[in-house]
Structure formats: structure tokens, C-alpha cells
Amino acid sequence: MARRHAVVQAFQFDPESDPDGEATDEEVATQRLRQDVSEWCRCEKCATMPTEAENICCLEIPQVTRRLREVEEQLTCMVDHPGLEPVCLNVYSLQNAGQIYKADYGPLRLRGIHHRYRYLSYRSFVSWCWGLLGRRIRVIIPACVVLRIRSVFPDEEGHYVGFKLPPV
């Protein structure tokens, strides 16, 4: 009786890389550094940021688009929202936010007034759109909003930290 040998085909049991023809969120995010900003930004006011995670448009985030919809006029970008300036860019509002921060957590130990205002501006934006998140919960602010805040409160040397995951 002749013995038959099964032919093994390499990779025959491996799953397809994209069985439904759709990329995962992680794959999309990884692609964004290689893409032109016009391929992922829908508001037309974003720019490529240094990390994959930061390359996100305001129109992709439900908490931000909810704020956009509360305005009667049709807005195409969060930087055009009439509430952005008084909530996140007004120095008197930020000074008040700084006093609240100081009462809750102690003094802000950040170099320079613009660094302090940027930090408080980011916190104000997150609070305005997401509400209270908790101590170790962080969200990514859309690129267009980050750029707007940095234009109002620039770092003299152009050194920006960007998004960082919370410490474990």
C-alpha cells in the first residue's frame, strides 16, 4: 500500500490581514504619520503632529462634535466655536482655572506663564468637552485645537511635550 504525504502549504491557517477590507483603528492611526494631513483632517485646520495618537481631527471625536452641534450656525471646526476663546484662551478664565487647580492639587510647577496657560487651556478644553475624567484618565485633544492653543500661548523655544499616557 502506497503511503500518501500531505502537502503542507505555508500560512494556510493564518487569518487574512484585512478580511473585511477595512483597516483597524490602530492601523489607521499608524498610517496617519505617513499620510498627508488632508487625508485624515476633515476640518481643514489640522497639521501633522509628532505622534500617531495626536493626529486626530476635531470632527472625529464625538465629545467635540457634540459641542459643535450646540451652536446654531453650521461650524466645520472646533477652533471656530464661539466658546473656545472664553473657556480655553481667555487669560482671566485661565487664571481662575489656575486658582481652582491650586486649591485642589497645589501650585502648578511649570516653567513660564505661557506653559502654565497652555496646560490650563488644555485642561479647560477637556473639562468643557468631556467633563470630569478622573486623575489618571487622559484624552487626546484634536490637532486643530492644540495648534490654536499653541498659537496663543507659544513656547519661545518651540518645545512642546504632546500627548503622554498616564503613569501606571
pLDDT recorded at residue 12 = 44
How many angstroms separate the CA atoms of 140 and 1, rounded? Answer: 68
Nearest partner of 118 among 132, 128, 108, 107, judged by Cα: 108
In this prediction the pTM is 0.78
Distance CA 90, CA 100 (A): 16
List Cβ neighbours of 90 (8 Å cut-off, separation of 6 or more): none
Tens place of pLDDT for every residue, the chain, 168 residues? Answer: 555 555 555 544 444 545 455 555 555 556 766 678 888 999 999 999 988 889 999 999 999 999 999 998 899 999 999 999 999 999 999 999 999 999 998 999 888 999 999 999 999 999 999 998 887 888 999 999 999 999 999 998 888 888 887 777
Domain boundaries, the chain: 87-136
